[in-house]
Structures are given as structure tokens and as C-alpha cells.
Amino acid sequence: MQDFYLKLPVLSDFASLANESNYSIAPSDWWVILTDIQGSTKAIHEGRYKDVNTLGAASISAAQNALDNLEFPFVFGGDGATLLVPNGSQEIVLETLAGLQDMARHNFGLVLRLGFIQISELEKHGAHIKVAKFAVSESCVLAEFYGNGLQVAEEFFKEEGSRLEYRGSKISDPNLNGLSCRWKPLTSRNGVILSVIIEARTGKGLNTSATFNRVIQQLEAIFSGGMESANPALGELRGYRSAPTLLREERRYQKRRFTFSGISRAIEILIAGCLFNFKVPIPKLRRYVEDIPSHCDFRKFDSSFRAVLDCSYEQAQAIEFLLQNEYSTGTLYFGIHRSDQAMMTCLVEGLKPGEHLHFIDGSGGGYTLAAKQMKMQKV
């Protein structure tokens, strides 16, 4: 089952992801690997939400490079990430993420928690994980998840003294080639950036597929162009952040101060900053910028539905009214966070279509604070 993910059919209609029947059960011998920033809410309130976001995305970058770009399903959660890797691949991923833990502690002063569990163990608790592939564009495919397995794994992981936490002695330096966090925040075109998490409730008389189908259809109807028109990356990019800022940040992603790769990335930052900020008319660069909106994960399923949407105030109010009504009738839990900007964290293997991916989150805490609000509904 090593090629389970490679063989999945690719779905092109986002609405089809609301139906559980379009997902395939993940192999029992695969592993769930989880990361998250301990005390992320406190760090966000201290203004460190970019550090929190970047370390979450770094988990995916480090794992991809450790596995030599083997295709595997993953999802970015704002303050961490969840990965599914084949049996036999988990040790190399855990070792490199332990190296990222070390980097987070020494260079950022943040604790990156790392956990793992085999899917067969989740199945013993009645949990399951289903996976699908969704084409956000002709050349860019993302993994989507269904079922309660990721939620159960996260609950086990966040228990005090969790047995899921990795405590191995082997540590490998993380290779973060391709991780890029250089664009200025995306300012809302319409008034407000809404970070939304929706979890369909289960129980007697409840059908999660029916709930998601209904809510997705109503969300699509709120926007005249559907949710696609609410992609925060559709607006004009404001260019790269300042070179001194980027160079200071880049040093924190290097274990040693002066390395060939570090010097190469510094030179790349300076050149790319000039090219993008001055909009040098190079066709390859122009195509890359044009492709960014269609290479974004601004909406996704990871058992819950997540989206970062650029809304008018009236649209944001309509979304809140819709979700509050569904919550009141007992069909779902939800969390919402409002901001005026979205953040973009990038994995860039190359500039061609399909060679880059951009994670979107609301600034000031986005998904993390929305998840905190949703958690309060469950108390």
C-alpha cells in the first residue's frame, strides 16, 4: 500500500468533497504524524503569529525533503500540520522533525510538539481516516481528509503527558529548502478576512455528509462568484517584505550561521526581492505570480471544513448568521476569526505550474483562534 495516495482519483468539484463516499480509507499500517506549537495562543497574542504559522508549514517542508519529495497526504493547520506517511517512512520523518523541534526551541524560543500514531491504533478506538485528492488547478493537487481519525489522534496528542509524543534520541538537521515566507500580508479587497472552521456533529439522526453538503451550498450562494471569488490571494500581491527583515528571519532557519545553503538563500532573497518588487517583466516570473491564487489551500477538508475568505462585512455577517443557526439546531460546531489581512506561507520547489503551493491563514491568529472559539462550544 506504499502507493495508496498516488493511485487515488483526482476530484475537480470542491462540492464533491462534502460526500464521504468520494474518499478512500487510508491503509491501517500508515502513520499519522502531528506537530503543533505549544502555547500558540499566547504566542499569537504576543504578535508572533507569523513564527507560529511558519513553523507549522516548516513541518511539511522538512518532511517532504526528508522523503525526497515522495507524495504523501498532509494538511496545514495554522499552528502545526498533520501528515500521513507510509509504514517504513515514519522514522526518517520523525528524526527530521525532531531536528525542527530543536531549531524551534533554540532559534525561536517556541516548543514544537511532535507526535505519531499508527492508523491501526486509531481503528481500535473506532476511528477511521479517509483521504481524497482535489485539483485546485490543472497542475496543483491537495489532499483532503474525512472521518474522525485525525480528530481522535489530535485529542490523544493534546492530552497531558501524551503517549503519542515522540521521544526518540535520533535527530536530523531539517532541510527546509523550498520554504518561503517572503510576501507581504494579503490585505482584504472586500473589507474583512474571515477564518472559518466547521465541524459537523455526529449522533442519532445526524448525517455529516448532509450537513457539509447543505452548508457548503449555502456558503457558495453567499458569494456571487462562489467561494472561488473569496480567495484572499486574488488581489494584487503587495510585493516582498524588506530585505533586512527577510535576511534576519532566514538566519533562524539555519543551524549554523554561515553555510553554503544559507548564503545561497540570502542571495536568492536579494535577487527575488528586486525582481518581484520592481515587477521585472520576465514571463516565467509573471506566470508564477498569476498562478499563485490557483495554487492556494484557502479552503479544505481535514475532517472539519476550513476556509479563509475575503468577504464584505455583509457577507461575513451572513456567514456568521448561517453557522450560528446551524449550531443552534445542533448540526455543527464552528469557530470564526476576523482580521483585515491574510498571511501566505509558501513551499516553492520551482516556478512552473504545480511546483509551488501556498498556505493561507488569517493574520493575527486565524485558524488557531477560530479553533479556540469552536472548542468553547463543546464545553
Average pLDDT on 126-131 reads: 96
Convert the pLDDT of each residue in 41-69 to its tens digit: 999 999 999 999 999 999 999 999 999 97
| Residue of 49, 116, 127, 98 whose CA lies nearest to 343 | 49
Residue 286's pLDDT is 92
In this structure, how many other beta carbons lie within 10 angstroms of the beta carbon of residue 269? 20
Instruction: Give the span between the Cα atoms of 150 and 304, in whole angstroms.
Output: 10
What is the amino acid identity at position 363? S
Residue 261 in domain: no
Residue 277's pLDDT is 83
Convert the pLDDT of each residue in 1-38 to its tens digit: 779 999 999 999 999 999 999 999 999 999 999 999 99
Residue 15 in domain: yes
**Higher per-residue pLDDT: 198 or 68:** 198
Q: How confident is the model at residue 161 (pLDDT cuts 50, 70, 90)?
A: low
Count of domains for the chain: 1
pLDDT at residue 328 greater than cutoff 90: yes
Rounded to the nearest angstrom, the gap between the alpha carbon of residue 186 and the centroid of all alpha carbons in its chain is 17
Residue 217 in domain: yes
Residue 344 in domain: yes
* Least confident segment among 10-14, 47-51, 253-257, 293-297: 253-257
pLDDT at residue 117 greater than cutoff 90: yes
Q: How high does pLDDT run on average in the chain?
A: 93
pLDDT at residue 169 greater than cutoff 90: no
pLDDT at residue 287 greater than cutoff 80: yes
> For the chain, what's the residue count?
379
Residue 256 in domain: no
Q: How confident is the model at residue 291 (pLDDT cuts 50, 70, 90)?
A: very high
Q: How confident is the model at residue 257 (pLDDT cuts 50, 70, 90)?
A: low
Residue 243's pLDDT is 87
pLDDT at residue 322 greater than cutoff 70: yes
Q: Strand runs (DSSP E) across the chain, as ranges?
A: 10-11, 24-25, 31-38, 74-76, 80-85, 111-118, 130-135, 141-146, 179-180, 186-187, 192-200, 299-301, 305-311, 332-339, 341-348, 356-362
Residue 2's pLDDT is 77
The residue range of the domain holding 125 is 10-236+288-377
Written as one string, the DSSP assignment of 246-312 is HHHHHHTT-SSSS-HHHHHHHHHHHHHHHHHHTT---HHHHHHHHHGGGGB-SEEEBSSEEEEEEE-
Residue 66 in domain: yes
Q: What is the enclosing helix (H) or strand (E) of 218? A: helix 208-222
| Residue of 73, 93, 92 whose CA lies nearest to 83 | 73
- In the chain, the percentage of residues whose pLDDT exceeds 90 is 79
> Nearest 5°: phi and psi at 99?
-65, -35
**Higher per-residue pLDDT: 83 or 269:** 83
Residue 206's pLDDT is 92
What is the amino acid identity at position 320? E
Residue 274 in domain: no
Cell 481522535 belongs to: 152
Average pLDDT on 144-169 reads: 88
Residue 231 in domain: yes
**Higher per-residue pLDDT: 248 or 229:** 229
Q: How confident is the model at residue 256 (pLDDT cuts 50, 70, 90)?
A: low
pLDDT at residue 130 greater than cutoff 80: yes
Name, in order, each residue with C-beta under 8 angstroms of 52's C-beta and a sequence gap of 6 or more. Answer: 37, 40, 43, 44, 78, 79, 110, 368
Name, in order, each residue with C-beta under 8 angstroms of 72's C-beta and a sequence gap of 6 or more. Answer: 5, 63, 83, 84, 85, 86, 89
CB-neighbour burial class of residue 224 (10 A; exposed 0-12, middle 13-18, buried 19+): exposed
- In the chain, the percentage of residues whose pLDDT exceeds 70 is 97
pLDDT at residue 255 greater than cutoff 70: no
Report for 75-79, 169-173, 239-243: range of highest mean pLDDT: 75-79
Q: How confident is the model at residue 247 (pLDDT cuts 50, 70, 90)?
A: confident
